[in-house]
Structure 1
């Protein structure tokens, strides 16, 4: 079953949940072939009940010990622009659409989304442009995000401290 997983992490992003649950967005998701919508709503005040909307089965929850399985099972992840959520999704090699909260001041999330978008790892938008972004997105244009290589830093540090010679 084609699944969209929406996460706001540990924060509150009611506008994103409300936007995703709108008739307009659920119709677009359904038209794109998605059948299931799973929402992780965090501390927000919006907690949709089990529902069916525009042919999508909807399930919502606040928190879990881990959302790794939800991410892994998703055909598309729509996420707030938190670094943890972005990196976990990209690390799981799932297509990612980041929705930046443009109501935040000094929004560092926008910087992260722009940088990862410029490298073709994800798509990004705001709540007001989500519907149009979904309509025009090309997930096949995204490139895999390669995980870091901490062993290179460790080797450098060992060499700098004279602990290892090559």
Structure 2
């Protein structure tokens, strides 16, 4: 069970954590990360654990997780990838993001500002997948703007594999974080300032 996952020095554990948000169900993201192409991309990058926060969509998670586990079993030479799911946690996701950080893993998230902020706090590679079905498509605008400024990778809900493959190169670039934007580089910067600068909001 995911609650028992622990990292220790020298461990080969490498965790990918997927969070879908606390309000509108994002079943397409659950489906996308459990597609065979995404599973293959994770295994090619030596991920050992995949944790999916399914929220209220446990039935969707269960359906696609069955096929993903079956696909893994047909290719044992690629290594084991343990897949687990979890509901929403009222205490927050600190434990999950810390495990990603410790294991040099990856976070995949919907494009909500709260989830983006939490991932950026832990300094982990982040793939953001906009939910284009939402009103005004604001998540797409945010994801595109922040990818352009090299804060994250924008993922496509129709095919996550290319974004997963970019994550290792992106990890190396993160040594420059926060990225140099608008000709200015500050050692520390509030998330509100990052948002304003990325989206072109002037003070």
- Report if the CA contact (8 A) 2:31-2:61 is conserved: no
Residue 128 (str. 1) matches residue 158 (str. 2): yes
Structure 2 CA distance, aligned partners of 1:90 and 1:129?
Answer: 23
Q: Could you say which residue in structure 2 is the equivalent of 1:93?
A: 123
Where does the alignment leave 5 or more consecutive residues of structure 2 unmatched? 1-12, 73-79, 179-187, 193-203
Q: Could you say which residue in structure 2 is the equivalent of 1:8?
A: 20
* More strand as a share of residues: 1
Deviation at 1:135, TM superposition (A): 2.8
- The residue matched to 2:155 in structure 1 has which SS? strand
Matched pairs, number? 150
Tell me: CA distance 1:23–1:129, structure 2 relative to 1, closer, same or farther (3 Å). Answer: closer
Deviation at 1:113, TM superposition (A): 1.2
Q: What TM-score do you get using the length of structure 1 for normalisation?
A: 0.80
- Report if the CA contact (8 A) 1:101-1:126 is conserved: no
From 44, 63, 67, the equivalent of 2:88 is: 63
Residue 36 (str. 1) matches residue 69 (str. 2): no
Deviation at 1:149, TM superposition (A): 8.8
Q: Could you say which residue in structure 2 is the equivalent of 1:155?
A: none
Deviations 1:60-115 (A, max 9, x none): 01111211110121110000000000001001111100011223341111122122
> If you compute each CA radius of gyration, which structure gives the higher value, 1 or 2?
1
Deviation at 1:117, TM superposition (A): 1.2
Q: Which runs of 4+ in 1 moved over 6 A?
A: 49-52
Q: What TM-score do you get using the length of structure 2 for normalisation?
A: 0.66
- The residue matched to 1:6 in structure 2 has which SS? strand
Q: Could you say which residue in structure 1 is the equivalent of 2:190?
A: 148
* More helix as a share of residues: 2
Residue 81 (str. 1) matches residue 99 (str. 2): no
Structure 1 CA distance, aligned partners of 2:136 and 2:20?
Answer: 19
